[in-house]
Amino acid sequence: MKSRLLLLPLATALSLISALGSFAQPREPLTELDEAARFLAGLPPLPGSPLESLAARPAWQEHAKEMEKLWEYFRHFQLDPIRQWSAEFLEASSSSTDPVFYPFSGPDAIYPRSFFPYASIYLLASREEAGLPPSFASLLSANLDSELPRMRQSLQWLLQWSFSVTKETRRLTASSVLGGMLPLYSLLLVRDGCRLLSIERGPSGRGTCLLFQGPEGREQRLCYFSVNLEDGAISASGLPTYLRHLPGGPTLIKAASYLLHGSGFSELRRLILTRSTLVLQDDSGIPVRFFSSGWNLRFFGLYQGPIQIFREFDQPDLAALTVNAHPSPLPFGFGYRWKREEASLIVATRAPHPPPTFPRDQANPSRPQ
């Protein structure tokens, strides 16, 4: 499959956006990419599929049962409450097709879709390797007895506690057959009712995109950049250039290890504040002091400070703002605060530019004096 990957030049980004606005034709038979992803997600293959014999193995039967438990837990405690909350409190942003940027994403392809299910493009970025998407050949040659449990473990933290552990993710996805982020993204997309259509690869082996059809039939893309987001490295990665070719839209930041609090990620912080129409984040994202008067801040859940391992990143100004705002509680966990009664988040919305003002005698030049 790797040899069939299409090049996706940065200059085509805008044309991709317009193409995504149209609804797809009625569904055709499953693609190999989609069918392989469904197998990884614990969903049964179609009769006559090359994967039918693999699905009869005890390892896959156990995998399907455990994946169903994990997904139902996530759907009940996270996915459904988030989508209901987003429709109420994010309003137009939750139904917008604007591209969504999600730095420090790791294996998480589901939270941006939970908050912004209609985005034309989800642009994810982290240091983990992209890997290759699942295929019949890779699954038929894999040691499923060991590979399938590793995939479940790679997603267990995310689906049960809303964040992932970077070292564990890298250890568990270090597989020559099913390694990297793309198999995990493929699994999560089909679990969310999407149908995978094709894959495209961007310049320098980065910017790999999964083209998929959402449950409503609209074509969307999930693009992943395997990049170092630190100052200096990010500018050479091509990611800022790609972002600047896209329309502005929401940015999601969750469980980001408080990297945006320091000076080593100032370029990324500046990029987010420049291109975003909305920033939805926990306290590990951009400190509130960086949001100038051009932003409107809303708070949800009561800020309790960082968890113990990150205690040096406490924000007294955020604590004061949150208390004074009397925020509504969150019906779901978020970031490192996976218990909903402890969770909090910040919604920063860019304030609209006020209309220009003129002296009274210039406001309407055609008005008779």
pLDDT digits (tens, 9 = 90+) for 101-142: 999 999 999 999 999 999 999 999 999 999 988 999 999 999
**For residues 58 and 299, what is the distance between their CA atoms, to the nearest angstrom?**
47
Note whether 24 and 218 are within 8 A (CB): yes
Residue 172 lies in a domain: yes
Structure tokens at 153: 């473990």
Residue 111 lies in a domain: yes
Asked whether the predicted pLDDT for residue 283 surpasses 90, the reply is yes
| Domains of the chain: total | 1
Outline where the chain has alpha helix (H). 13-19, 32-40, 52-55, 58-74, 80-89, 111-115, 136-141, 144-161, 166-172, 182-191, 233-236, 239-244, 266-275, 316-325
Place of tokens 């969310």: 192
Nearest to 107 by CA among 172, 33, 45, 16: 172
Residue 361 lies in a domain: no
Note whether 350 and 276 are within 8 A (CB): yes
* Residue 228, domain extent: 31-353
Residue 247 lies in a domain: yes
Residue 359 lies in a domain: no
User: What is the rounded average pLDDT for all residues in the chain?
Assistant: 87
Tens of pLDDT along 148-199? 999 999 999 999 998 888 778 878 777 767 889 999 999 999 999 999 999 9
Find all residues with CB under 8 Å of 280, minimum gap 6, and list them.
90, 115, 250, 251, 252, 253, 345, 346, 347, 348
Residue 9 lies in a domain: no
Find all residues with CB under 8 Å of 144, minimum gap 6, and list them.
54, 57, 59, 60, 63
Structure tokens at 5: 């990957």
**For residues 93 and 95, what is the distance between their CA atoms, to the nearest angstrom?**
5
Residue 124 lies in a domain: yes
**pLDDT-above-70 percentage for the chain:** 86
Residue 168 lies in a domain: yes
